Amino acid sequence: MKFPLSRAPFGAYPSLSAAQTERIELIVQQTLAETLAEYESHQHKQRRLLPRSHYKAVKKVENLICYRQRSGVAPESMLTPVSRPSPVRTNTLSRTSTTASFASATDGDTTWRIPKLVTVGTMVGTLEDVMHGLLATDATSTFIRASYTNEELLDAELLHRIKSPTPERPFQFCGIKWHVLELTKITSKRDFVFVEASGVLDRPNGERLGYHIMHSVDLPGLGELPEQYQVQRGRIVSCHLFRQLQNNTVDVYMKGLVDPSGHMPAAVAVASTVGALLKLGQAVECSHSKKLEYLL
């Protein structure tokens, strides 16, 4: 099957119910809260280094370093859903069961074959540049972003829109997306159905903190594609935080876990995911190009 397709391959699929929308928003809120807690803990560590007993440096690009969690290390309790998540089914109706099932779905999940990855460091630019570069509210802007981050994106579609940017919140977005990626030239393509969310928080201390979240979900009518498409459904959970520092610099904290499924060697999957995390540093360049195009 050749991508991109003329239209998303799911046929008619139902709109999101109010309960499903609420559940997805809770997934975003909980993932963000847990990552914020770990980021604040990271800020207070000496020299802000990850412990060598838990993490191994994998790759460095400019001022960003990506680490992988060492085997045999138990995930941090404060970030359970990001550490060992499962796609979340969104047909639960009650608020209580929504929160409980999201947390409990991760307990004991050993099906993720590659370790958790953490990227820390700084990048040149402003928080507004980073968030503007990452903002992708439809398929067209998603492809534009991918052209700067060098993401091997073969197809993309916005399946459900939950929140859009506003004049007061220009970087706000939440929606369900479908992506097809060519992770390597020697393995079959992977597709992902996930919630993508972004925005800027005003912290109690006056700081502004940007975030970008991706979290796989299971939704009616958006299941795995038939064999004729020659793609395998992967899973992803990630949360990226950005904080403005002095001297035109942005502090970066990214956590992610990707399971490509299938028979892809773990080392290949790790290398591909590490590359994707580090390429987000191109968000500022993407923002500058967007602004230039607007002026033209």
Q: pLDDT digits over 163-194, tens only?
A: 999 999 999 999 999 999 987 776 789 999 99
- At residue 195, φ and ψ (nearest 5 deg) are -90, 130
Residue 138's SS3 state is coil
Select from 115, 128, 162, 222 the least CA-distant residue to 21: 162
**pLDDT for position 87:** 47
Annotated domain spans of the chain: 18-295
Q: pLDDT digits over 216-262, tens only?
A: 999 999 999 999 999 999 999 999 999 999 889 999 999 988 888 87
Evaluate if residue 98 carries a pLDDT over 50. no
255-275: average pLDDT: 80
Give the pTM: 0.85
Q: Which residues, including other chains, have CB under 8 Å from residue 123's CB and lie 6 or more apart?
A: 62, 63, 64, 130, 249, 250, 252, 281, 283, 284
CATH of domain 18-295: 3.30.530.20
